[in-house]
Structure 1
């Protein structure tokens, strides 16, 4: 548990330097993927949870594990499988005998950590997936009518494989909406793959240094929330969210291919992400460009395509791009 009484205020320069150090240390282990690392960092500094989607072998798990080392946080990995039970995540009560008396004691599960790696989260059953809902939203766990508070800071970074659907359980919309960002992890370029082969098959493995801790992360989150957002930029974000809903949207792709649009959480994600993007650029004012930089990550998992969109292979990223091109910046 982080003691908030020891937190100190950060300047914009200190914010940028800390973020740059984090990205630099992660870069010692992760080759390329600068945009992925930046968006994961945006999600963490926003205090939200992040879902990474990509084919196997792209370093999703390694990225999250490396962040745990760089940020000096209590790290816990949960490998989701079809036989994983909710108690395997949250913990359970065990009976102990002392001084001739028997009593139940709560044994904490792996969710009681600062940074949670939910590996292949779509392999668990809906019953087990729902065990993460309260933890992600309320940052508490309820077992046997007792509520336990999770440590601060608390982040869930989950991974899933988009190509292998056998034996998986697609995340319900309610749980997808709990993730601040959904980040697509692309396949590396030929040059990046050459560097990956050199690093992973050589004699020495890079070890990242600590760049921040829990207290510093909380201070960075507090500074980000203090960044003012101009009224016209806030109104632009609201228009983007409203325009994701079909029938009355000015975006043609939305009306033709979207069944249901974003919840208000999509707007919250864009506001927080844009504030941090501005800080990383050394500014205390949020611009339209900051919103555009995080719009896809904030909205792609909150748009439900209709049958026509799925049949024609439309991507939600295409819809977001159409929205950004259609909604006027005033």
Structure 2
């Protein structure tokens, strides 16, 4: 099987567990292929955790879940030095924390205080953790997928803009259509029946990590024209100088996107093109992932909030006004 066949197989397996969330599955796979971290936001019960678990279960990878709580400590995430007594005398050894895995689910990340959130920064950006002056490298396959509940504000610590910018994409999960919800009921009922009867279906072999690395290598060869480079840069520039496009945008945008947005558009656009079987990036690839890339990087003004404008509304306007290549 080619790397694309293996990734499509992984997608099909995830779709068997996550019904009605095809776009979310695509975004999780793009994050995996683009080697970036994801922030997944949605109301309770919309299968945020289930989606990440479905990916980890069908991939030959070590999975770790960290349930973020207000009393969590940084060492609970990164690990700590433990003193042990041996025949040769006492010594300190490093006991790795749950961050040392291939796929890390940071569940309800906004429930932990700033120190714990900061403990993730080095691992997310530098792919390493420093404890007691010693640096410990992460695995070659390493991705943090953090979930966030948008409606509960009591006992939460909103992520600062600097940390939000570290996430490659901000993925939003919405309610499934009623037809898909009927299928969800039947799926969970079947799982409960199988669990109560003690019968377990034979599981196929997990997709090897080499498929991900081979896919990343092919994605690196995807052709991006000069016109597409300029289009991505123009989109990012539009968030910084919105007055050049329209007075409404100028009133709605307070802070524009950082250069990380340009890099994210490039990485995600190439991954999107590859998953669709093309060896080049076209505007449709960039427009498909623009909302996920910009959603957490564009800071809206009070006027935008007063006009009931969301980040997606502002991004829609940018995509409408910036000329296609």
**1:217-241 deviation per Cα after TM superposition (whole angstroms, max 9, x unaligned):** 1121121112120000110000000
Partner of 1:258: 253
Partner of 1:25: 13
Q: Distance in 1 between matches of 2:41 and 2:269?
A: 22
- RMSD over aligned CA atoms reads 1.5
Partner of 1:175: 163
**1:110 pairs with 65, 90, 98, which one?**
98
- Are 1:251 and 1:323, in contact at CA under 8 Å, matched by a contact in 2? no
**2:273 pairs with 278, 288, 304, which one?**
278
Q: Distance in 1 between matches of 2:202 and 2:161?
A: 38
> In structure 1, the residue corresponding to 2:104 is in which secondary structure?
strand
Q: Distance in 1 between matches of 2:310 and 2:61?
A: 35
- Are 2:3 and 2:214, in contact at CA under 8 Å, matched by a contact in 1? no
- The answer to whether structure 1 residue 301 and structure 2 residue 296 are counterparts is yes
**1:20-62 deviation per Cα after TM superposition (whole angstroms, max 9, x unaligned):** 1111000111111001111111111000011110001010001
Report the Cα offset of residue 304 of structure 1.
0.5
Q: Distance in 2 between matches of 1:251 and 1:177?
A: 25
C-alpha spacing 1:40/1:251, structure 2 compared with 1 (3 Å): farther
Partner of 2:185: 197
- Are 1:18 and 1:211, in contact at CA under 8 Å, matched by a contact in 2? no
Task: Normalising by structure 1, report the TM-score.
Answer: 0.93
Partner of 2:198: none
Q: Distance in 2 between matches of 1:210 and 1:144?
A: 39
Q: Distance in 2 between matches of 1:115 and 1:252?
A: 43
- The answer to whether structure 1 residue 242 and structure 2 residue 230 are counterparts is no
Q: Distance in 1 between matches of 2:244 and 2:123?
A: 34
Q: Distance in 2 between matches of 1:69 and 1:94?
A: 31
- Are 2:4 and 2:215, in contact at CA under 8 Å, matched by a contact in 1? no
**1:135 pairs with 113, 119, 123, which one?**
123
Report the Cα offset of residue 252 of structure 1.
4.3
Task: Normalising by structure 2, report the TM-score.
Answer: 0.94
- Are 2:70 and 2:113, in contact at CA under 8 Å, matched by a contact in 1? yes
Q: Distance in 2 between matches of 1:60 and 1:310?
A: 27
Q: Which runs of 5+ in 1 are unaligned?
A: 1-12
What is the aligned residue count? 318
- Are 1:26 and 1:208, in contact at CA under 8 Å, matched by a contact in 2? no
C-alpha spacing 1:207/1:36, structure 2 compared with 1 (3 Å): farther
- Are 1:69 and 1:208, in contact at CA under 8 Å, matched by a contact in 2? no
